Structure 1
Amino acid sequence: MIIWLNGAFGAGKTTAAHELLHLLPGSTLFEPELIGDQLRGLLPKERLAEVDDYQDLPAWRSLVVDTASALLAEVPGPLITPLSLLSQAYRDEIFGGLAARRIPVLHFLLQTEETFLRARIEQRAAEDGEAVRTRCLARLPDYDAALPWLTGDAHPVAASRLTPRQTAEALAEGVRRGDGARTIVQTAPPKAATLAAGVLFFDDLDRVLLVDPTYKSGWEFPGGVVEAGEAPTLAAAREVIEELGLRLETEPTPLVVDWEPPGPRSFGGIRLLFDGGLLPTERCSGLRLPADELRDWRFVTETEAATLLRPGGLARLRAALRARALGHPLYLERGQPVGG
């Protein structure tokens, strides 16, 4: 298990984590910042110049999951992780990766009133230097922007008037109660190329339906991996029922067949998109999302989809819209049409 202590920079997460070690037998401190420090020494300066923070590195997010898994094979756990994780997309990627490895997470938010927070930052700056003040204050807007999703995802601990020991005691009580537990679908990482089927639904404004997974970053089309021996159309229909509580009224028609090549973090495979047709407003009121898998759904324009989908998904969407207009499916490789 991982006990993730989130909050603003300077909120006292690390000091509370050290106190919590004494209250939870077998616990071990796990600081992902050390992974970021290692990557700074390993990656070329040109790559580091492309990101504002080590958390923006896919390698860092992947290594956090892999390292936590490796540590829990060596120590009894839990791992106590004091780290500001302010991007919901990065939260989904990391927590989803941990869930895939059957590692549960208790997510806590140390809430500190701004007056107390600034006082703590000043105290740290007096001890560790001006750079600490500059870094912590510069990230306060990021924390404020993250609060809407953080307060809905993490269990709050009001720490303004608590000593580090008292904060740790409140956290230990929360751990015993199971506070902050987040159930996330345990989707095992693929071990070979996969066949996946997605379904596009449209509203009366011709916008397309996308869903927001809780276990990985970015939005997706409804759908999923085709199981062994399963017809892709049946898989598409099954996934739509499981993800949206929606039964297809007719068999979906194919729009896109795309070959996705293997890469450093993916085995690739065949990606299919089917046309689910018009989804009337009255049917949308009956959509039911599995809480451990999907957070939200929305209809979006192609322009809006460009800000939500990963590049491969966006390329497939654009090809699917073209195929729909042409009246016949398109074959793609690497997201690009082949054969006109």
Structure 2
Amino acid sequence: MKQTAPGHPLTAATLVTDPLDRLLIVHPTSGGSWHLPGGIVEQGESPLEAARREAREELGLSLDIREQDLFAVEWLQATRPGRRDRLAFLFAGPILAAEAPDIVLQPSEVDAWRWATREESRSILHPAVAARIMGPLQVPSSATYREIRNQK
């Protein structure tokens, strides 16, 4: 029987916006809520490398994301029995032209993308993800640490 290593799983995501301050969000092929481009940090990979890789895989984009683009680090409490708490790294990505980003979806991971206003994002993203977009979306070198606990 495979044992799970102690510690927290890591995820990395990127806030990509357009000149109108709309957020690029993606819809997973598996269904469920819309989310930010990103995913699990793989073994031997840094959160920054994972954010870049996930943008390439999900959207076909090579984003210029740097260490100083770290936007937030969040601790997220497990939502169900059998799940583990995790750490989420969020990077401020580039501002892309709204009319023609060269997006090519990876059908095995995402089936749609769209630009969403902050208000739209709050209503269609998972509540924990929506909480990430409360402040300014492009603030380099001002990372914050947050903890997301389940409301009981």
TM-score calculated relative to the size of structure 1: 0.39
For the aligned residue pairs, the C-alpha RMSD in angstroms reads 2.3
Comparing both structures, which one devotes a greater share of its residues to strand?
2
Partner deviation per Cα, 1:158-201 (whole Å, 9 max, x = no partner): xxxxxxxxxxxxxxxxxxxxxxxxxxxxxxxx987410000111
**Residue 143 (structure 2) aligned to one of 326, 329, 334:** 329
Aligned to 2:84: 267
Return the structure number with greater relative CO, CA threshold 8 A, min gap 6.
2
Moved over 6 A (4+): none
CA distance in 1, matches of 2:11, 2:23: 19
Preserved contact between residue 76 and residue 85 of structure 2 (Cα < 8 Å) = yes
Which position in structure 1 is the counterpart of 2:49? 234
Q: Secondary structure at the match of 1:298?
A: strand
SS at match of 2:107: coil
Shift of 1:326: 8.4
Q: Which aligned pairs between 1:1-340 and structure 2 lie closer than 5 A? A: 193-251=8-66, 253-265=69-81, 266-281=83-98, 284=101, 286-318=102-134, 321-322=135-136, 324-325=138-139, 328-334=142-148
* Structure 1, unaligned runs of 5 or more: 1-189, 336-340
- Per the TM alignment, residue 276 of structure 1 is displaced from its structure 2 partner at its CA by 0.8
Tell me by how many angstroms 1:251 deviates.
2.2
The amino acid that maps onto 2:47 is P
- The CA distance in 2 between the partners of 1:264 and 1:282, in whole Å, is 40
| Native 8 Å contact 2:92 2:140 kept in 1 | no
The count of aligned residue pairs is 143
Higher helix share: 1
Distance 2:105 2:28 in 1: 10
1:287, CA displacement in angstroms? 0.4
Contact kept in structure 2, 1:200 and 1:208, CA below 8 Å: yes
Residues of 1 paired with 2:114 and 2:105: CA distance?
12
- 1:314 and 1:214 map into 2 onto residues whose CA distance is 20
5+ residue gaps, structure 2? none
Deviation at 1:325, TM superposition (A): 5.0
